[in-house]
Amino acid sequence: MAASIAAPKRPFLTLPFLLPSWTDSLSLGAKRHQSSYRRTKQRLRVKPDASFGPSQQGRDQIIYNPPSSAPSVYHTPSKFLPINDVRRAMRADTPSGPNVNELPSVHKTEAERKYHLTPADIEEIRKLRLNDPMTWSRHKLAKRFECSPIFIAMVCEASPEKKQIQKQVLEAVQSRWGPKRRMAREDRKLRREAWGRDE
């Protein structure tokens, strides 16, 4: 939110103690003397928000200060209100938030959905995975058919032998873990479960 940091109220040059030559010797903020007290105090004197002042036209007005807190879950989003709910109309003219398209995405690249696989392809995926599970792992199949590994897991299942082998491999790896790593993994799992309870 660097964009919302407001510019200083006065031009920079009128505050000479901010200049670098001063800051070298003074280490700004750490020391405060009687002589400099008034200057620092003056900078903190910010004009209050316009909505806090007396009303201009002498008529009623609604002051909207969004709370600086995370929204409550009991406040149903307007989109989730039933069509006949009064609150839908009441909230219609409240200012909307930032433009969604300008906000950065959580993922670096949005995965594009292609829907290009045919039933024959899926049959082949199943056949490959069943016949040669050691070569054709989920990731290799995903790369070859240009889909996600989750999709491979959705359409077919590994053979029981392969599952057994994979379980043994996992056990062998886990047996080499020390107490620290084991505890860290368990904690991570517990933290992940706590997300679902919103703790």
Partner 1 sequence: MPVKGIRTVASARNGVGAFILQCKRLDFHYCNFWASSRGMLNFLTKDLPAFAREHPQIEIRVSPRPAKHPVIKGHYINGHEKAICVRNLEPEDIMKKTMILKEASGDKLKRTKKPVTSVNESVRGIWSPYHGDLRGV
Partner 2 sequence: MKRLQLQRWSSSVLSPRARAGSRLHQQLYSTGLRLQSTASPLQSETSIPDDVEHVDIGDPGMMRHVRRVHKRKTQLQYPSPPVDAAIKSPKLAALHARLYLPSRLPVQTLARTLVDASADRNADFNNEALATLGHDLLTHYTSEHLLCNYPRLPLSVIFAAMYAYVGPKTLAAMTKEWGVDWATVPGGEVDPGLLQFKRIDPGTKVDEVSQLQSPRPYAAQKGWRMTVSSKIFYDDEFGDAIKGSAASNEGVTTEMASATFVRAVMGAIYLHAGRPAAKRFFEQHILSRHLNISELFNFSQPARDLARLCARENFEPPVAKIVSETGRKSRHPVFVVGVFSGQDKLGEGAGASLAEARERAALAALKGWYLYSPLNPRVPSSMEEEGAAPWKPAHVDVGEVIV
DSSP 127-157: HHHHH-TTTS-HHHHHHHHTS-HHHHHHH--
| 182 binding partner (options partner 1, partner 2, none; Cβ < 5 to 8 Å by kind) | none
| CA distance linking residue 35 with residue 43, whole number of Å | 15
* Among partner 2, partner 1, none, partner that 106 touches (CB below 5 to 8 angstroms by kind): partner 2
By beta-carbon proximity to partner 1, the closer residue of 33 and 197 is 197
Structure tokens at 118: 């045919």
> Which of partner 2, partner 1, none does 77 bind, CB closer than 5 to 8 A by kind?
partner 2
Among 13, 30, 70, 83, binds partner 1 (CB under 8 A): 70
134: helix, strand or coil: coil
| Binder of residue 52, out of partner 2, partner 1, none (CB less than 5 to 8 A by kind) | none
Q: Hey, which residues between 4 and 63 contact partner 1 (CB under 8 A)?
A: 4-8, 43-44, 46
Q: Which of 21, 72, 105, 118 binds partner 1 (CB under 8 A)?
A: 72
- Going 147 to 153 to 155 to 156, the CA torsion angle's sign is positive
Query: What's the CA angle centered on 86, arms 83 and 89, to 5 degrees?
Result: 80
Q: Is there a contact between 145 and 160 (Cβ–Cβ < 8 Å)?
A: no
- Tell me: does residue 71 bind partner 1 (CB under 8 A): yes
Amino acid (1-letter code) at residue 55: S
The residues binding partner 1 (CB under 8 A) are 1, 4-8, 43-44, 46, 65-72, 197
